[in-house]
């Protein structure tokens, strides 16, 4: 059976995978092997920005695949999909963020950003936030302060310090010895924690004062999820290096880090090939990324996000919901306990609604549907959630 082969031959990330066998996915729904439809309130952990198999993205992928796919390592050949995507992205960003290095995932983009910061400043110290999550490769893992996840892989990269998120009094830790401060614009794994009281603005000011580069991780909130193309646009804080991923290509593997051309050029000399990747900027995936961004900008998808958030908040009123954290369609439900959160997630799966956990906040239930989800689909998913919570109370 395929389920047995899945467990025996494909490496697992936990001892208890959900194990739903997928036959197809379309729009806001994933269909299992029996043909049952599952309303998707997770979107592949915020990756399927335009839902599943958006027809224009599928067409862009098919057309590019019929011309060429992989031809040369990144940066050597001129490949129109990657070039035109980088230009379109630059058109949406501030003048200081005009040069894009395309890679294969968010965590790889973090690795590249860390290398760039150390190379450009000549400093080694990196400051990250407590309870942060930036990925699981060795450099990204080194930014984490969660000992249970870090300790089995020690030693990690040195000279990483941690400060509490949203505490301006801790910013004195940023000094002329600091190469970079790395922050999630919105803390994801910690429970969708928003910056408040001018925190990001204060970080930006301190970094400027000390010659420290500010790296903002927009891997999850980027590409419209918060109601703006990038979450930093809600704040008076432009990073020196922007890190993106997840929702860039409607579910295909991609990431990037973006900076000024002057800054990014530090990676092409002394030594040459200061950062390299074989499959970064892959033409097929770049075509999907470009079409995703074009649809986001053309179809007013982003302008619909605030209204959809308001609908979630209006409908999800229940005595077991302590709080709805986050913004836009990057929301989570805080439950009274981890046990109740897990009950809700597992019971929803039985009723054809896909929910999921957060990485560190075990009392939270993720709500990150495709940005294209309809209000009728939101109402149906919320009805299922409230029905299950009523059953838990009884």
pLDDT band at 18 (very low <50, low <70, confident <90, very high): confident
| Domain of residue 93, CATH code | 3.40.640.10
User: Is residue 348 a contact partner of residue 385, using CB atoms and an 8 Å limit?
Assistant: yes
Does residue 14 have a pLDDT over 90? Answer: no
Mean pLDDT, residues 110-132 taken together: 98
Q: Do 183 and 286 share a domain, yes or no?
A: yes
The total of other beta-carbon atoms located within 10 Å of residue 286's CB is 26
Q: Do 39 and 80 share a domain, yes or no?
A: no
Does residue 16 have a pLDDT over 90? Answer: no
Q: Name the domain boundary from 298, 316, 347.
A: 298
Domain that holds residue 169: 58-298
Report how many domains make up the chain: 2
| Domain of residue 27, CATH code | 3.90.1150.10
- In angstroms, the CA 115 to CA 119 distance is 6
Q: Do 240 and 108 share a domain, yes or no?
A: yes
pLDDT in tens, 242-281: 999 999 999 999 999 999 999 999 999 899 888 999 999 9
Q: Do 102 and 151 share a domain, yes or no?
A: yes
Q: Name the domain boundary from 298, 323, 340.
A: 298
Q: Do 112 and 42 share a domain, yes or no?
A: no
Tokens 């009123």: give the residue: 317
pLDDT band at 13 (very low <50, low <70, confident <90, very high): confident
Q: Do 255 and 313 share a domain, yes or no?
A: no
pLDDT in tens, 167-206: 999 999 999 999 999 999 999 999 999 999 999 999 999 9
Q: Do 265 and 131 share a domain, yes or no?
A: yes
The mean-pLDDT minimum among 145-149, 321-325, 348-352, 365-369 falls in 145-149
Q: Do 94 and 179 share a domain, yes or no?
A: yes
Does residue 385 have a pLDDT over 90? Answer: yes
Q: Do 380 and 249 share a domain, yes or no?
A: no
Q: Specify the pLDDT at position 3.
A: 86
Q: How far is CA 240 from the centre of its chain?
A: 18
Q: Name the domain boundary from 254, 273, 298.
A: 298
Does residue 70 have a pLDDT over 90? Answer: yes
Mean pLDDT, residues 113-118 taken together: 98
Q: Do 34 and 100 share a domain, yes or no?
A: no
Mean pLDDT, residues 131-152 taken together: 95
Q: Do 42 and 101 share a domain, yes or no?
A: no
- In angstroms, the CA 28 to CA 20 distance is 16
Q: Do 118 and 155 share a domain, yes or no?
A: yes
Q: Specify the pLDDT at position 274.
A: 87
């Amino acid at each position: 059976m395929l389920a047995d082969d899945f467990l025996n031959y494909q490496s697992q990330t936990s001892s208890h995978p959900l194990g739903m066998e997928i036959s197809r996915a379309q729009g806001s729904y994933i269909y299992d092997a029996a043909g049952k439809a599952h309303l998707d309130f997770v979107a592949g952990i915020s990756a399927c920005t335009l839902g599943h198999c958006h027809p224009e993205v599928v067409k862009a992928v098919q057309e590019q695949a019929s011309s060429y796919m992989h031809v040369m390592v990144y940066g050597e050949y001129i490949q129109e999909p990657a070039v035109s995507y980088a230009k379109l992205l630059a058109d949406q960003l501030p003048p200081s963020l005009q040069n894009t290095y395309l890679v294969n995932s968010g965590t790889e983009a973090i690795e590249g950003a860390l290398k760039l910061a150390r190379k450009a400043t000549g400093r080694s110290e990196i400051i990250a936030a407590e309870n942060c999550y930036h990925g699981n490769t060795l450099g990204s893992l080194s930014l984490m302060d969660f000992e249970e996840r870090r300790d089995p892989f020690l030693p990690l990269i040195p000279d990483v310090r941690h400060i509490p998120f949203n505490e301006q009094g801790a910013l004195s830790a940023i000094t002329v010895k600091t190469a970079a401060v790395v922050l999630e614009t919105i803390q994801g794994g910690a429970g969708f924690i928003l910056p408040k009281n001018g925190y990001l603005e204060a970080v930006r000011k301190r970094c400027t004062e000390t010659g420290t580069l500010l790296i903002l991780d927009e891997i999850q909130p980027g590409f419209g999820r918060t109601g703006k193309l990038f979450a930093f646009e809600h704040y008076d804080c432009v990073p020196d290096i922007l890190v993106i991923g997840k929702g860039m290509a409607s579910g295909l593997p991609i990431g990037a880090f973006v900076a000024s051309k002057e800054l990014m050029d530090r990676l092409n000399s002394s030594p040459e090939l200061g950062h390299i990747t074989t499959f970064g900027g892959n033409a097929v995936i770049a075509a999907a990324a470009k079409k995703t961004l074009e649809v986001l900008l053309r179809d007013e998808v982003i302008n619909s996000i605030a209204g959809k958030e308001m609908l979630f908040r209006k409908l999800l009123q229940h005595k077991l919901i302590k709080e709805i954290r986050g913004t836009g369609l990057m929301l989570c439900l805080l439950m009274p306990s981890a046990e109740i959160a897990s009950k809700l997630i597992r019971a929803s799966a039985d009723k054809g609604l896909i929910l999921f956990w957060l990485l560190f906040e075990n009392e939270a239930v993720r709500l990150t549907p495709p940005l294209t989800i309809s209000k009728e689909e939101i109402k149906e998913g919320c009805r299922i959630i409230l029905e299950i919570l009523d059953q838990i109370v009884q």
